[in-house]
């Protein structure tokens, strides 16, 4: 499909907290203790001088008996490589690779080559059979003046509560989400808006989580050209959806840079 890159607006006070790209591969038995070291050598210890191993919960099961409720979580090992400033992170696991950038986020043109480099380094020692998941995720955090009733001043996406309900209830928190299909159902875009804590008494803290997900991984596979093209499409659709959420008043709050 032919498509054109869109113009990206720039802000002096952007709300982006984190962006990351996650690959999930077909399960295999190739992972062992030597693999992280091989990938680390490919990436370069000079670029990622910090190396950490963490254990994270990935699933949980709750069971209730006559007298007790038990909770059982499955833990998996992950290895993280971090740059000197700890703002760029490559995370590895069996059949998983994710590449993260914490604020400040310079640009897509700077972040995309980091994803490619990490993907190439992961594939060299492992050669997975295929891709079963790919997503690009943006996490924004910001505050607006006033409470929930002021949402429409700043956002074109959020909670709707009628006048009578607002009179009846003093809302303090909410979570709303939407989903749309793209590229003839090959991809899915999900947006979720939630309230967060705020240090300012009269402000409402908000988190906007936007994910672009490859719905049919077999159409992209492990072909690096197709993956890079998909990432450009993902970035542009996420950016288009993000900008469509904002009113000019919120753009002013983010300090839009006029060129």
Chain segment 64-113, per-residue pLDDT in tens: 556 656 656 677 789 999 999 999 999 999 999 999 999 999 999 999 99
Check whether residue 155 and residue 210 sit in a common domain.
yes
CATH number at residue 117: 3.30.310
pLDDT score, position 11: 93
Listing DSSP states for 69-109 in one string gives: EEEEEEEEEEEEEE-TTS-EEEEEETTEEEEEEESSP--HH
Alpha helices in 33-180 (DSSP H): 35-43, 108-126, 151-154, 163-168
Q: Is residue 71 part of a domain?
A: no
Q: What is the pLDDT of residue 2?
A: 41
Q: Which two tokens stand for residue 99?
A: 């590449």
Cα three-residue angle 150-152-154, rounded to 5 degrees? 85
In a domain, 167, yes or no: yes
Give yes or no: residues 88 and 124 share one domain: yes
Please check whether residues 149 and 108 belong to one and the same domain.
Answer: no
Q: What is the pTM of this model?
A: 0.88
Say if residue 195 is in the same domain as residue 256. yes
Q: Looking at residues 186-209, what average pLDDT do you find?
A: 88
Query: Which of 244, 243, 245 shows the shortest CA–CA distance to 11?
Result: 243
Q: Is residue 178 within 8 Å of 208, Cβ to Cβ?
A: no
Residue 36 lies in a domain: yes
Task: Please give the angle made by the CA atoms of 157, 177 and 136, to the nearest 5 degrees.
Answer: 100
* Residue 257 falls inside a structural domain: yes
Bridge-based pairing state of the strands 16-25 and 96-102: antiparallel
Domains: count for the chain: 2
Contact 202, 174 (CB under 8 A): no
| pLDDT number for residue 75 | 74
Residue 216 has pLDDT above 70, yes or no: yes
In-domain check, residue 190: yes
Residue 236 lies in a domain: yes
Q: Give the structural domain span for 175.
A: 136-259
Query: Any residues with CB less than 8 A from the CB of 200 and at least 6 apart, and which?
Result: 143
Tell me the average pLDDT across 36-65. Answer: 83
Residue 153 located in a structural domain: yes
């Amino acid at each position: 499909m032919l498509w054109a890159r869109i113009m990206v607006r720039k802000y002096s006070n952007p709300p982006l907290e984190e962006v990351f790209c996650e690959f999930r591969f077909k399960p295999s038995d190739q992972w062992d203790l030597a693999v992280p070291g091989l990938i680390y050598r490919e990436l370069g210890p000079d670029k990622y001088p910090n190396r950490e191993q963490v254990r994270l919960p990935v699933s949980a099961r709750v069971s209730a008996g006559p007298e007790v409720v038990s909770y059982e979580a499955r833990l998996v090992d992950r290895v993280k490589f971090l740059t000197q400033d700890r703002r760029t992170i490559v995370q590895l696991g069996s059949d998983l690779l994710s590449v993260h950038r914490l604020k400040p986020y310079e640009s897509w043109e700077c972040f995309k080559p980091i994803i490619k480099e990490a993907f190439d380094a992961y594939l060299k020692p492992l050669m997975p059979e295929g891709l079963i998941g790919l997503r690009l995720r943006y996490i924004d955090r910001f505050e607006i003046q006033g409470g929930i009733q002021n949402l429409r001043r700043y956002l074109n996406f959020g909670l709707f509560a009628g006048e009578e309900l607002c009179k009846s209830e003093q809302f303090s928190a909410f979570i709303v989400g939407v989903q749309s299909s793209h590229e003839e159902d090959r991809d899915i875009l999900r947006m979720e808006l939630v309230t967060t804590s705020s240090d300012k008494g009269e402000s409402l803290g908000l988190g906007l989580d936007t994910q672009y997900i490859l719905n049919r991984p077999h159409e992209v596979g492990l072909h690096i050209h197709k993956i890079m093209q998909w990432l450009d499409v993902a970035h542009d659709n996420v950016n288009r959806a993000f900008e469509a959420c904002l009113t000019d008043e919120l753009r002013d709050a983010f300090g839009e840079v006029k060129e």
